[in-house]
Amino acid sequence: MSVRFSICGTHLALKMLCAAICAAASGIVCAQAYPTKPIRFVVPFTPGGSQDIIARLVGQKLSERVGQQVVIDNRGGAAGLIAAEIAAHAPPDGHTIFMATAGPVTIAPSLHKKLNYAPAKDFAAVIHMVDTPMALVASNGLPAKSVAELVTLAKSKSGGLNYASVGNGSISHLTMELFKQQARVDLVHVPYKGAAPAFIDLIAGQVPLMFITTASAQPHVAAGKVRVLAVAARKRSATLPNVPTLTQAGIEGLEVPVWAGILTAARTPPAAINRLYREVHEVLQLPDVRGRLDQLGADVVGDGPPSFDALLKTDLARWAKVIRTADIKLD
């Protein structure tokens, strides 16, 4: 009886060992084989904007490296919520990736009572690709020539100064609300439907202030149509080297990088996420890619899943506090 038990036990142990070896081999094959079909790159913007250009640039190079087509799927509208929902509920196999920005990922949860996805639960971080600094832009007619003068002017105005944004709940809107809270000034929000109409009125002097990305501001600055008082960044912008940071201008710690990265569905196999991270990280180091990103005013970051996930958590908490303090509501 004892011999039979020993043989059975040995047989069971051998089966378990074989299963473990097969599982390990399967993981190796999975890591080597992924991707096994075209990758769908969901972009929450219409074609032609800077984030779409970045997605196409990275997607083309990624396709060349992995031997599979990367299909750009533009799903603009609803402030990115439509695209985020599609990506969040895609099969968790790494063949659908999401061009993530703050709007639908770290801002929307505090603005909307109900979302059809939960960013913290439904996404897995892949790579934090780039940051684009925000710039505090002023009309040429604004008397203030510096941030200190702007704060003094705003405090002297009964009812405060007006400021434009590219829309309610946008990063443009929330960055100015953060500025208001930290500078302790009263400014009145005038929302527009996008950057183009906001710039028209800013240039015309109908509104004196706006936060917008340095990439969007640069052509108007170069043409002498508007001025930049400061950038909301840790260091000065390469495209606006003579403009101080907000910290240098006296508003401590107000740094708002407009980040862009790649997320995929939660529960995607780590082998697929790691392959994606490695390949995209290498793409971001290519000289021609870096050159194009420089033209767009985007700074390469390249941080992997742990760092990117930490950024998402910090960003979520930050915007939740700003939205709560300013009592911003969309629904």
Do residues 146 and 93 share a domain? no
Do residues 228 and 307 share a domain? no
- In this prediction, the residues of the chain whose per-residue pLDDT falls under 50 are 1-30
What is the C-alpha to C-alpha distance for residues 68 and 38, in angstroms, rounded to an integer? 5
Do residues 90 and 166 share a domain? no
Of 197, 232, 267, the residue that ends a domain is: 232
Number of C-beta neighbours around residue 300 at 10 A: 15
Residue range 117-132, pLDDT digits in tens: 999 999 999 999 999 9
Do residues 126 and 263 share a domain? yes
Q: The tokens 């939205």 sit on which residue?
A: 323
Helix (H, G, I), strand (E, B) or coil at 78: helix
Do residues 187 and 139 share a domain? yes
In a domain, 18, yes or no: no
pLDDT (0 to 100) of residue 331: 64
In a domain, 196, yes or no: yes
| Total domain count, the chain | 2
Do residues 137 and 189 share a domain? yes
Q: Identify the CATH number of the domain in which residue 179 sits.
A: 3.40.190.10
In a domain, 70, yes or no: yes
In a domain, 7, yes or no: no
Q: Give the contacts of 160 (CB within 8 A, at least 6 positions apart).
A: 154, 185, 186, 187, 188
pLDDT (0 to 100) of residue 191: 96
Q: Identify the CATH number of the domain in which residue 67 sits.
A: 3.40.190.150
Do residues 197 and 223 share a domain? yes
Domain range holding 57? 36-131+258-326
Contact predicate 258/213, CB 8 Å: yes
In a domain, 205, yes or no: yes
In a domain, 124, yes or no: yes
Using the Cα atoms of residue 113, residue 114, residue 120 and residue 126 in order, give the sign of their dihedral.
negative
pLDDT (0 to 100) of residue 146: 97
Residue 38 has, within 13 A of its CA and on its CB side, a CA count of 10
In a domain, 158, yes or no: yes
Do residues 304 and 265 share a domain? yes
What is the C-alpha to C-alpha distance for residues 183 and 208, in angstroms, rounded to an integer? 17
pLDDT (0 to 100) of residue 56: 98
Do residues 177 and 263 share a domain? no
Do residues 84 and 167 share a domain? no
Contact predicate 228/202, CB 8 Å: no
Do residues 112 and 148 share a domain? no
Do residues 56 and 121 share a domain? yes
pLDDT (0 to 100) of residue 32: 58
